[in-house]
Amino acid sequence: MRLSASLGLALLALGACDDRAPARTPRGGPGAAEAEGSASSPDSPLSPLDALSTPAPFDDALIDELRRALVASADPSRFEGPPDYGAEPEELADETPTGPQVTPGEMDTRALVEEPEPAERGPRATVNPRLFRRAPRATIAADGTVTVRFAVTRAVPAVSVYYGAEVPEDPFALARLRRVSTDLAIEEGAHTVRFDLRGLLREQYDVGRTLTRGHGLLRWRVEALDPSHGTTRVHDGRTAFSCAPLPCTAESELAQLPTVVLGPFVDRVDHESATISFETDVPTAALVALRREGGRVRQARAEVSSRHELSLTGLTPGTRYRYLPLVADGRGRISLGRSATFATWPAPDEDTAVRFAVMSDSRSGLGTADEQYAGTNRQVLGDLMLGALREGARFTVFVGDLIDGYRTHAGSVRYELRAWQKATEPVAASMPIYEAMGNHEALIEYWTPGWAVGAVSPTSMEALFGEHFVNPDNGPSAPEGAPPYTENVYSFDAGPAHLAVVNTNYFWRSHFWRDDHPAADRGQGEGWIDDTQLAWLEADLAAARERGQRHLFVFTHEPGFPNGGHVQDGMWWEGRHPEMVARRDRFFRVLSEHGVAAVFHGDEHNYSRTRVHGGLVDGLERPLWQIISGGAGAPYYAQAREVPWASDVAAFDARQHFVLIDIDGEAARARVVSRTGETIDRFDLGAVE
């Protein structure tokens, strides 16, 4: 997430720890430090999922102390007026279409397949807006009436709002919906649905202990019938509240509280630090409490903002921590975020075994509302993320095409990125995810003949990507006037491994071969790795080798040697553009020269493993594996059997899946796991000869 003064983001370091415990060295790289070898050793006392429950949750007495500490530290003068719980941030509002409109399919065909004629720019066009022009927001009145309000871009004949709670013991904080309201009305141009929250405040429904604790979290889902597409669209939300006096009864007065509406997420975890980020529905002061087993409680604080990113430093290597966000609004009202756990890495000088997952391409599938969840296949993505965590992955690298994208308005892109984050947050609170950009992460300027180019002003897709995700910020500097590389080109070490992410969809432009493109002075073609990134990658890989990193991996969305679904583009383009093929070959020579074991791609919605050797790339010093892992929910593709390298394809499978990488000493192995748990492929990453 890119820190921005205009957004008021605050980053506070947690002071050096003086209560370090002896570090442990987990083997097999499970998601939990205490689950030593859990996915690899059947005798482990804790599975990776069971380990998420340790250390134990904070007790109510300690939480009360934290509440008082946050109230005492929050400066009311830092807030700009009382909180407006019913207002959607302007940055999430969709545009009001002006001029011609095109469907995403029409845009795709004109910009990616057809040749625009005439060559004139033509009028600017808008990609059809999403159903929810303004996202649903909930307000809670003192008498318990909940009003869910939203605006739409087309007629909606029926709406259901399901609502319920969370089970506190659930480490994934999944919504348990218990009731439904269909009381739809249209008021002042907005759609509203109302229901009485007090219907949940009964002993038989009180799984969250709201009646005795005096505060709770309402989980709700809007499901709207969209007849123009013959389907339903859904939006999920949560709203915190309190009741008084205690114990809560039907006569108690309710009050809405500030709410953590997105996250928390844990990222950039190493042996002594981690970053926690989350968003709230109104500007808040924030505190994150942190504790290891048997250790004292420590606090990190953030200034007033609706986006919080807190760096926790001075942590103990090889240790599992529990954390809890608390937030306060300008009236001093406080609520709790979700409590979760994460594990730090062992000390760098220890012999650390590593397990991580790789997957990509979770944009919308076909089927239910959850398979078309605001640009994301939430159903499949959620299953695969949980599967990776269950298998003991310490982290996941997601190699692009998170969302449908190709939008002409930043509000729509933000909405889709937030939907992807909602889909992953059950797991991402405990397992870091490193995101890469794909071709569908596109905010564009579009003209009716089919010309398109990545937007730069007032913002770019690359800037939005860095705004939403927390990745390493050690990439190259961008030229003046170009989009940033920050947090979309980066690298990091993981035990004896080094992982580098480059962006083959940076500053995308359609029809890059056309000199008459009206934006020919901007952007570059899909699949291109520019000089800046290539120079950075060479230096980065060389430095990793110099540090003694034994296993090198590179990740980028567009495949060098596509095998099914994107033979017409990627880095190949059916061989029609010699400069693209030459750049691909140069890229692979860089990988080979530095001994990269494998390059991972997405783009094609299947799995394939291809041996890249000197017969395919002139001057390649040593062969390497190309792994395409695009099975996270986007519509499937079959194998292309007529490509020049067909005989070098060692494996192909169209099932939804993720790839697990295991590193232990000099050994590096891979296993490909289907959505339903079968092993699709298994191979040694060192055996490419």
Please state the domain extents for the chain: 5-79+260-333, 90-94+129-257, 354-436+496-506+526-684
What is residue 128's predicted lDDT score, i.e. its pLDDT? 76
What confidence category does residue 6 fall into, taking pLDDT thresholds of 50, 70 and 90?
Answer: very low
Question: Are the beta carbons of 485 and 506 closer than 8 angstroms?
Answer: yes
Max intra-chain CA distance, the chain: 79
Angle value at C-alpha 652, between 397 and 575, nearest 5 degrees: 85
Question: Are the beta carbons of 32 and 22 closer than 8 angstroms?
Answer: no
Q: Label the pairing between strands 598-601 and 551-555.
A: parallel
DSSP SS3 for 210? helix
What confidence category does residue 249 fall into, taking pLDDT thresholds of 50, 70 and 90?
Answer: confident
What confidence category does residue 96 fall into, taking pLDDT thresholds of 50, 70 and 90?
Answer: low
What confidence category does residue 154 fall into, taking pLDDT thresholds of 50, 70 and 90?
Answer: confident
Q: Which residue has the higher pLDDT, 597 or 2?
A: 597
Question: Are the beta carbons of 5 and 470 closer than 8 angstroms?
Answer: no
Nearest to 186 by CA among 132, 211, 150, 221: 150
DSSP SS3 for 487? coil
Q: Which residue has the higher pLDDT, 48 or 500?
A: 500
Which pair of structure tokens corresponds to residue 507? 């500053």
The CATH superfamily holding the domain 5-79+260-333 is: Immunoglobulins (2.60.40.10)
Query: Taking the chain, what is the end-to-end CA distance rounded to the nearest angstrom?
Result: 40
Topology (CATH) of 354-436+496-506+526-684: Purple Acid Phosphatase; chain A, domain 2 (3.60.21)
Instruction: Report the share of the chain in percent with pLDDT over 90.
Output: 75
From its phi and psi, is residue 565 left (phi > 0), alpha (psi between -120 and 50) or beta? left
What is residue 434's predicted lDDT score, i.e. its pLDDT? 99
| Domains 5-79+260-333 and 354-436+496-506+526-684 are alike in CATH topology | no
Please name the residues in contact with 519: beta carbons below 8 A apart, sequence gap of 6 or more: 445, 451, 453, 509
Please name the residues in contact with 585: beta carbons below 8 A apart, sequence gap of 6 or more: 617, 618, 619
Give the pTM.
0.93
What confidence category does residue 139 fall into, taking pLDDT thresholds of 50, 70 and 90?
Answer: very high
From its phi and psi, is residue 481 left (phi > 0), alpha (psi between -120 and 50) or beta? left
From its phi and psi, is residue 523 left (phi > 0), alpha (psi between -120 and 50) or beta? left
Helical segments of 455-577, H only: 461-468, 531-547
Among 24-33, 327-336, 420-429, 502-511, name the one with the lowest average pLDDT: 24-33
What is residue 648's predicted lDDT score, i.e. its pLDDT? 98
What confidence category does residue 33 fall into, taking pLDDT thresholds of 50, 70 and 90?
Answer: very low
> Between the ranges 78-92, 395-409, 442-456, where is the mean pLDDT highest?
395-409
In terms of Cβ atoms closer than 10 Å to its own Cβ (0-12, 13-18, 19+), residue 463 is buried
Nearest to 508 by CA among 494, 529, 493, 487: 529
Average pLDDT of the residues in 399-414: 94
Instruction: Report the share of the chain in percent with pLDDT over 70.
Output: 91
What confidence category does residue 21 fall into, taking pLDDT thresholds of 50, 70 and 90?
Answer: very low
Looking at the domain covering 90-94+129-257, what would its CATH class be?
mainly beta
Cα gap 605→636, rounded to integer Å: 5
DSSP SS3 for 432? coil
What confidence category does residue 91 fall into, taking pLDDT thresholds of 50, 70 and 90?
Answer: low
| Count of CB atoms situated within 10 Å of the CB of 123 | 11
DSSP SS3 for 484? coil
Question: Are the beta carbons of 106 and 126 closer than 8 angstroms?
Answer: no
What is residue 633's predicted lDDT score, i.e. its pLDDT? 98
What is residue 158's predicted lDDT score, i.e. its pLDDT? 92
Question: Are the beta carbons of 568 and 557 closer than 8 angstroms?
Answer: no
Quick: pLDDT tens for 256-284.
999 999 999 999 999 999 999 999 999 99
What is residue 134's predicted lDDT score, i.e. its pLDDT? 86
Output the 3-class SS for 53-110. Answer: HCCCCCCHHHHHHHHHHHHHHCCHHHCCCCCCCCCCCHHHCCCCCCCCEECHHHHHHH
What is residue 342's predicted lDDT score, i.e. its pLDDT? 97
Average model confidence (pLDDT) across the chain: 90
DSSP-derived letter for residue 315 is P
Q: Is the per-residue pLDDT at 573 higher than 60?
A: yes
Question: Are the beta carbons of 566 and 559 closer than 8 angstroms?
Answer: yes
| Count of CB atoms situated within 10 Å of the CB of 294 | 8
Cis, peptide link before residue 30, omega less than 30° from 0: no
What confidence category does residue 72 fall into, taking pLDDT thresholds of 50, 70 and 90?
Answer: confident
Handedness of CA 436, 439, 440, 442 (dihedral sign): positive
Mutual angle of helices 410-428 and 461-468, in 10-degree steps:
30
Please give the backbone phi and psi of residue 116, each rounded to the nearest 5 degrees, phi first: -65, 135
What is residue 45's predicted lDDT score, i.e. its pLDDT? 59
Q: Is the per-residue pLDDT at 113 higher than 90?
A: no
Average pLDDT of the residues in 165-178: 93
DSSP SS3 for 426? helix
Among 182-196, 367-381, 545-559, name the one with the lowest average pLDDT: 182-196
Cα gap 560→377, rounded to integer Å: 26
What is residue 687's predicted lDDT score, i.e. its pLDDT? 59
Nearest to 36 by CA among 26, 24, 46, 51: 26
Nearest to 656 by CA among 609, 600, 607, 602: 607
In terms of Cβ atoms closer than 10 Å to its own Cβ (0-12, 13-18, 19+), residue 169 is exposed
Quick: pLDDT tens for 363-379.
999 999 999 999 999 99
Radius of gyration of the chain (CA): 25
Q: Is the per-residue pLDDT at 24 higher than 50?
A: no
